[in-house]
Structure 1
Amino acid sequence: MQSENVVKLFTSQNPSALVDRAELTECVTLLAKLCSGKQPFPILNHIRISSEPGGMALTATNNDIQAETSIVADVDARFTTALPAAALLKLMKKGTPSSTAILELLPEEDPDADRTIASKCAIQLASTRFVLDAMPTDDFPEPIRHVAGKFHKFSIASAILWNAIDGTIDAVSTDETRYYLNGVLIHSHNGHLRFVTTDGHRLYIQDTNVKTGKFEVNAILPTEGARFVASLLDGHAGADPVKVEISASVAVFVFRDIAVSLKLLDGTYPDYQRVIPAEPDKVATVAGGTLSAAAASLVECTGASTVHLKFAAGELILRADGTTGRGTTGLDCDYQGDELEIAFDARYLRSAIDAASPDGRNMKIRMADAISPAIVTGSIGGWTGILMPSRA
């Protein structure tokens, strides 16, 4: 007698699912970003697909980052498997054109246990049938969840979240001895949410208008996890809210019908505000696009790693001395203060310029002297960069 749990749409008695192909392709495209194919355990290169009321739940993880979503489907309640992400993605994108996909688990006897397992999954696209190797979901890691205790909930516009991560992530440290700097600090500052990164050479801050209320948010998002969230937001950022939950060990972001859970970095972020100088007395206003292009040209032509900036009334002179020669160029600059020459690492300088004014518009550089940190601001509201000068 046929089980009542088996969808009547299918002639096979095997666990099966009928799903809209475009929706499945979109979900697999997003989740496959976590499955690089180079994970230490084979199961981490797979997407878990399981039945749930009204559809299928899909999950991918690398043990530190987890992404979950679901889609509407006609599915057998017994359906559960883990399919290789790369192969499934290629099949969904390049397989025979069709509007739907039928997935059917092909069971076989487990020689080492008294049970039947699904080691293959057949995928029907129009008249073409493909078969992928599958893994049992028993091998899938435990889900990333909040542990017992309080967690804070708030919402942030997707554009604000993307901008905050994108505008600060470049200054994240890669020094493993100070692992707590290998991420993005999000915390309450003056009642609002602030994002901070530093590698000791530069400090990037993005203030937002998101109120944290009476709750003190304080968490360090791991670099890879922050980049993953930003990659899913890229091209989709706008006014739509991202729902956020933060506990002592986990952060969860819900948007685009996806829940992304991150294991937070353990440790205490240093008091970064100590390196922010008091308002310097020398202020230069210059077009960010022009300054970035000039610095890039000098570095490219001279092989220099350091760029010297000499500020005087109405003028900025850039100089670079490198392995293949010396170069100088002049730019228009609105400068207020005594004449000053200061040097910056070329890569850090261009990074700060691009973060402050990605549109190339005017930016400000505030300086006290040649050896103190400079404050950089631009056309991105709420963004501040602290740039350490070079001694070279």
Structure 2
Amino acid sequence: MKATLERSTLLKGLGHVQSVVERRNTIPILSNVLIEANSDGSVRLMATDLDLQVVETVQASEVSTPGAITVSAHTLFEIVRKLPEGGQVSLDAAEGKMAIKSSRSRFNLPTLPRDDFPIIAEGELPTSFELPAAELIALIDKTSFAISTEETRYYLNGIFLHVADEDEPVLKAAATDGHRLARYTLSRPEGAAKMPDVIIPRKCVGELKKLLDENGDSNVLIDLSASKIRFTLKSTILTSKLIDGTFPDYNRVIPTGNDKLLKLDPSSLRESVDRVATIAQEKTRAVKMALDNDKVTLSVTSPDNGTAAEELSASYGSETVEIGFNAKYLTDILTQIEGDSVDLHLADASAPTLIKEHDKSPALYVLMPMRV
């Protein structure tokens, strides 16, 4: 195989695929990127960790000898990243080695044959629909922070995607770690009516977000079955296995009878929580909120670090309530509120709190209280 590519083209393509590759691999071939140069001048770059696969197609300046080979993904990426801008990079693979040439630089890397490289078999992907990249970005941003990192509850280690029929057909995304829940609702796209309920793994969500940030103005084609999902964005295809588990019925934890409404500025609340939490114990990060007539008092008491308190003006007309929250969980939710007002629907000190920007907001959050 012999091909010449612009450095910027090769760097961008390698950047998309190499981040899938785990730094430590017991299987040598999984550390490699598959490079496939075709006679039409296209070059396919592919990387996988056996659960997730990214394929990027780039255009070469010249393909002298079509062929395919695998080489260390991270090493090649670092080499190309450090080469001078604006140059051409020649990749020449033969007899177990790849020669990389650009300007005055010369590198020789060991290779492994393409036949050893594993490819995820997609099988049938019967459900197919499109979403604007901007909507998919919003869906990920508003929910992914609540994905659980607890491996024992593996079925919570992703975003749950499902369709539902309400006043209109909708597509919903939800994530929870047992302490907080985030849900985002979209109008159901054409073609998604019979899709199975799926859980998209955390790593896939992270890689998809990186790709979306570069393709925010396009549409994304989503094809899926009960076990696999494929995202097609311009020149990049991301394929992932889905989490094989049952997501809990999260609707049961969304409170419907919370009759105390607190309205205030989300950025002011976020900044205040952050300030008083400075002295909170690292383990619990507990902040107490005391709600009184049109004001909120935030306070923290730490046996080691002392006390902190801050008062905020707010719209509140119900009876006095004192409730505790984990400061990080509360600020994570408030960070997602884009408007200048947020609604907190409360019941009492032991009941979950419902948080929304407004009644018609596509995003909804539930936060469990803490004892303080």
Which residue does 2:352 correspond to in 1? Answer: 373
Question: What pairs with 1:7-22 in structure 2 (closer than 5 Å)?
Answer: 15-22=1-8
**Is residue 117 of structure 2 the alignment partner of residue 140 of structure 1?**
yes
Q: 1:308·1:320 contact (CA, 8 Å) conserved in 2? A: yes
Which of these residues, 320, 337, 341, is aligned with residue 339 of structure 1? 320
In the alignment, the residues of structure 2 paired with residue 145 and residue 180 of structure 1 have an alpha-carbon distance, to the nearest angstrom, of: 22
CA pair 253-310 structure 1, distance change in 2 beyond 3 A:
same
Which of these residues, 110, 117, 133, is aligned with residue 158 of structure 1? 133
Structure 1 unmatched ranges of 5 or more: 1-14, 108-118
Question: What pairs with 1:19-58 in structure 2 (closer than 5 Å)?
Answer: 19-54=5-40, 55-58=42-45
CA pair 207-179 structure 1, distance change in 2 beyond 3 A:
same
Cα drift, residue 156 of structure 1:
0.7
Q: 2:280·2:286 contact (CA, 8 Å) conserved in 1? A: no
Which residue does 2:240 correspond to in 1? Answer: 262
Which residue does 2:94 correspond to in 1? Answer: 106
* RMSD, matched Cα: 2.0
The structure having more radius of gyration, on CA atoms, is 1
Q: 2:296·2:312 contact (CA, 8 Å) conserved in 1? A: yes
**Is residue 50 of structure 2 the alignment partner of residue 63 of structure 1?**
yes
| 1:247-269: CA deviation from partner (whole Å, max 9, x where unpaired) | 11100011141000010000111
Cα drift, residue 105 of structure 1:
1.2
CA pair 104-204 structure 1, distance change in 2 beyond 3 A:
same
Q: 1:290·1:360 contact (CA, 8 Å) conserved in 2? A: no
In the alignment, the residues of structure 2 paired with residue 289 and residue 96 of structure 1 have an alpha-carbon distance, to the nearest angstrom, of: 43
Which of these residues, 185, 189, 205, is aligned with residue 183 of structure 2? 205
Q: 2:300·2:307 contact (CA, 8 Å) conserved in 1? A: yes
Paired residue secondary structure (1:83): strand
In the alignment, the residues of structure 1 paired with residue 278 and residue 214 of structure 2 have an alpha-carbon distance, to the nearest angstrom, of: 31
**Is residue 285 of structure 2 the alignment partner of residue 315 of structure 1?**
no
Cα drift, residue 235 of structure 1:
5.0
Cα drift, residue 162 of structure 1:
1.4
In the alignment, the residues of structure 1 paired with residue 144 and residue 47 of structure 2 have an alpha-carbon distance, to the nearest angstrom, of: 23
Q: Quick one: which amino acid aligns to residue 139 of structure 2? A: A
Which residue does 1:187 correspond to in 2? Answer: 162
| 1:222-247: CA deviation from partner (whole Å, max 9, x where unpaired) | 11111111122225423x11110111
In the alignment, the residues of structure 2 paired with residue 65 and residue 317 of structure 1 have an alpha-carbon distance, to the nearest angstrom, of: 47
Which residue does 1:351 correspond to in 2? Answer: 332
Which of these residues, 283, 287, 299, is aligned with residue 265 of structure 2? 287
**Is residue 153 of structure 2 the alignment partner of residue 169 of structure 1?**
no
Q: 1:186·1:218 contact (CA, 8 Å) conserved in 2? A: yes
Q: 1:320·1:328 contact (CA, 8 Å) conserved in 2? A: yes
Q: 1:18·1:75 contact (CA, 8 Å) conserved in 2? A: yes
Q: 1:51·1:76 contact (CA, 8 Å) conserved in 2? A: no
Structure 2 unmatched ranges of 5 or more: none
Given the two structures, how large is their TM-score scaled by the length of structure 2?
0.91
In the alignment, the residues of structure 2 paired with residue 339 and residue 98 of structure 1 have an alpha-carbon distance, to the nearest angstrom, of: 65
Q: 1:316·1:333 contact (CA, 8 Å) conserved in 2? A: yes
Q: 1:156·1:210 contact (CA, 8 Å) conserved in 2? A: no
CA pair 208-53 structure 1, distance change in 2 beyond 3 A:
farther
Which residue does 1:129 correspond to in 2? Answer: 106
Which residue does 1:3 correspond to in 2? Answer: none
Which residue does 1:229 correspond to in 2? Answer: 208
Q: 1:289·1:360 contact (CA, 8 Å) conserved in 2? A: no
CA pair 17-235 structure 1, distance change in 2 beyond 3 A:
closer
CA pair 326-360 structure 1, distance change in 2 beyond 3 A:
farther
Cα drift, residue 160 of structure 1:
1.1
Q: Quick one: which amino acid aligns to residue 288 of structure 2? A: H
In the alignment, the residues of structure 1 paired with residue 79 and residue 152 of structure 2 have an alpha-carbon distance, to the nearest angstrom, of: 42
**Is residue 362 of structure 2 the alignment partner of residue 387 of structure 1?**
no
Paired residue secondary structure (1:291): helix
Q: 1:185·1:196 contact (CA, 8 Å) conserved in 2? A: yes
CA pair 283-53 structure 1, distance change in 2 beyond 3 A:
farther
In the alignment, the residues of structure 2 paired with residue 225 and residue 243 of structure 1 have an alpha-carbon distance, to the nearest angstrom, of: 15
Paired residue secondary structure (1:371): coil
Q: 2:162·2:171 contact (CA, 8 Å) conserved in 1? A: yes
Q: 1:145·1:261 contact (CA, 8 Å) conserved in 2? A: no
